[in-house]
Amino acid sequence: MKKLWLAFFLVVFGASVACAEWMVDFKNTYVNEGIDQAVERALKDGQSPDAIVEFGVAIEGLNPQNLVRALYCAGANGQDVRAAADKFGISEPIVIAGYKKAIDECGVRVADAQAYTPVATGPSFATPTGGRGGSFASPSI
């Protein structure tokens, strides 16, 4: 039984050390090379946008808009970025501004080119009344 507990402890301890290690690397890279490099390395090391945003918003002085921009520029999935931002308190206007900044600065490297296509909310021309209620009688009658 002692061997089982020892094996369990080693696995849990090893996982927590590996988890803490990427955070130290992320912060050091951010301080020395910038947020773009830190995000790219974290994604290459297998970290999710969720984990990156969670840790990134806790770093003092890191602008959340730049974090979002760096995620988009690094090729993170737009839905994952939006979900992580929502989960960790980054407002929608900041996410939109980060996305637009990523398009301007990174262009084709941005993975989700349709992340913020506005939804049409005006009248529809699919109905005879242009989306409004009413009768379908011909005006000539």
Q: What is the DSSP string of 67-115?
A: HHHHHHHTT--HHHHHHHHHHTT--HHHHHHHHHHHHHHHGGG-S-TTT
pLDDT at 63: 95
pLDDT at 133: 55
Residues with pLDDT less than 50, the chain: 5-7, 9-17, 113-115, 117-118
Q: Indicate the pTM of the whole model.
A: 0.66
pLDDT at 139: 53
pLDDT at 91: 95
Helix (H) or strand (E) holding 128: none
pLDDT at 113: 47
pLDDT at 110: 76
Domain layout of the chain by residue ranges: 12-109
